[in-house]
Chain A
């Protein structure tokens, strides 16, 4: 019999369906546990909301790109390929 702890370890894999890579027997066992356990149903629901929230919020990677350095590299590249320009 699966325990609540198992649900917390496999939530992502469970909600991904076949893509989650869990064997069918494990998916059925998780489903059966969710049928009888309201806490775990709520946890899975919270987890789905977490994913939806991330999708909506789209937190961004802190951008530290040195644009000037990149522009210099690109200019150097242009100069090499089109020495007559400028």
Chain B
């Protein structure tokens, strides 16, 4: 709930939006018809509450802002990689279960993400939402949702890669 609220209204009033959403949820509970899961319904209430408090146009990430998944100096003039990418041996989900340092790296990378990216990553990779569902919840286009998700994953990837190299 907090991820969604922060993605839409930002840090300052996200907490207030979540509180209001809880109050609205409890008030509206008798009207809950079970057409979606309770979790989906809750997220929708947060999303609606947050959207009503913010102007949409402030929340769009530009798709053409010069962002690069991998820095240009990692490619030669033909666009092919100059560095050698090797498979990771220690950053596997199995290893993660016992590697607290790697868990910390992922946690820190996650906390450093902008709110919209954090929400996209949480909803898709942790909660299993589809892209079209997060478009509706966050009121963004599907191309924007894909860009946010990809940028979030790249940031976490880069943090793990940095950890691997050191």
Does chain B have a CB within 8 A of A24? no
CB nearest to B110 among chain A residues: A59
Contacting pair B26 A77 (CB below 8 A): yes
* Cα separation A24 to B125 with both chains bound (whole Å): 24
Contacting pair B160 A53 (CB below 8 A): yes
- Interfacial chain B residues near A13, Cβ < 8 Å: 146, 150
Contact with B along A19-63 (1 / 0, CB 8 A): 111000000000000000111101101110111111111111111
Count residues on chain B whose CB falls below 8 Å from chain A CBs. Answer: 55
From known contacts A21-B142, A53-B96, A57-B96, infer whether A73 and B70 are also in contact, taking CB-CB under 8 Å: no
Contacting pair B79 A40 (CB below 8 A): no
Taking a contact as CB atoms closer than 8 A, the residue among A11, A49, A50 that contacts B69 in the complex is A11
Count residues on chain A whose CB falls below 8 Å from chain B CBs. Answer: 45
Contacting pair B125 A54 (CB below 8 A): yes
CB nearest to B6 among chain A residues: A61
Question: Max chain A CB contacts within 10 Å: which of B70, B84, B111?
Answer: B70
Contacting pair A61 B87 (CB below 8 A): no
Contacting pair B87 A42 (CB below 8 A): yes
* Cα separation A54 to B122 with both chains bound (whole Å): 9
From known contacts A19-B130, A53-B91, infer whether A42 and B125 are also in contact, taking CB-CB under 8 Å: no
Does chain B have a CB within 8 A of A86? no
Contacting pair B126 A8 (CB below 8 A): no
From known contacts A40-B85, A49-B88, A54-B106, infer whether A64 and B153 are also in contact, taking CB-CB under 8 Å: no
A-B contact pairs, 15 of them (CB 8 A): A3-B80, A4-B80, A11-B153, A39-B83, A45-B88, A46-B87, A46-B157, A47-B157, A49-B91, A54-B121, A54-B126, A54-B153, A57-B107, A62-B111, A64-B2
Which residues of B come within 8 Å of A, CB atoms?
Answer: 2-3, 6, 15, 18-19, 22-23, 26-27, 68-70, 72, 75, 78-81, 83-88, 91-93, 96-97, 102-103, 106-107, 109-111, 118, 121-122, 125-126, 130-131, 142-143, 146, 149-150, 153-154, 156-157, 160-161
